[in-house]
Amino acid sequence: MAADLDPRVALLLDKMACTELVHRLARGIDRCDADLVRAVFHPDATDDHGMYQGTAADFVPWVMEVLAGMRRTQHMIGNVLIEVDGDKAQGEAYFIAHHHIPSGEGGDNFMVAAGRYLDRFERRDGEWKISHRHAVYDWSTAVPSTDMWDRANMPGYAFGARGHADPSYAHFNGA
């Protein structure tokens, strides 16, 4: 980091960089983009999702398999608190995660899980990444899906997709 940076601006930058990682991880999950998820973690990072506890490297294929059983997800991030201490930082990010899950009886279930990501960030070689993520669950609700969009027959409308079919990829590539 440039030595002549106002310390208040430096703090702002560090907080922004950590928040960015939280948002990028949500994007990686919602797009089922394993590379994007992997890229926000340090190589030796760890993850604790309750039902998964282990390395971030092993978390990636685990979560991709979980996601494969769902039709679509959206992980909304709200309040983000970041406390920076040199090259380390702690974060608390509120989330509301929306999931459409095939119920096996024709319709989907709409399951909402809300909680907080307690993250540890580290700056190595000038770059912030996540070194540990701990998902804490606060509340949930699940109801039969009432989604009523006929995605196949609404030309012109852009619908969220998994992988590079989602319009956000072309968007960030300048299309």
Partner 1 sequence: MSKVVPEQVADRLAIMDVLNRYARGIDRCDLAVLKSVWWDDALVDYGTGDAPALGWSESVLPALGAMRRTQHFLGNMLIDIDGDSAAAETYCRAWHEVDSPAGPQEMDVGGRYLDRLEKRGDEWRLLHRRYVLDWSRNCPSTARWDGPLYGTLKRHGKRMPDDPLYTGD
Strand order in the sheet with 88-105: 53-55, 41-48, 127-144, 107-124, 88-105, 72-85
119 binds partner 1 (CB under 8 A): no
Instruction: Return the number of the residue (30 or 46) whose C-beta is nearest partner 1.
Output: 30
Scanning 7-15, 48-56, 57-65, 114-122 for contacts with partner 1 by CB under 8 A, the matching segment is: 7-15
Contact present, 61 and 41 (Cβ < 8 Å): no
Q: Which of residues 31-70 bind partner 1 (CB under 8 A)?
A: none
Residue type present at position 98: H
Angstrom distance (rounded) from CA 113 to CA 7:
37
165 binds partner 1 (CB under 8 A): no
Instruction: Return the number of the residue (46 or 99) whose C-beta is nearest partner 1.
Output: 99
For residue 99, CA distances in Å to 4, 58, 122 come to: 46, 22, 30
Number of residues that bind partner 1 (CB under 8 A): 43
Among residues 34, 38, 74, 162, which is the contact residue for partner 1, using CB under 8 A?
74
For residues 94, 20, 62, 141, the Cα torsion angle rounded to the nearest 10 degrees is: 20
Among residues 56, 75, 82, 91, which is the contact residue for partner 1, using CB under 8 A?
75
Angstrom distance (rounded) from CA 35 to CA 110:
27
Contacting positions for partner 1 (CB under 8 A)? 1-2, 5, 9, 12-13, 16-17, 20, 22-24, 26-27, 30, 72, 74-78, 96, 98, 100, 110, 143, 145-149, 154, 156-160, 166-168, 171-172, 174
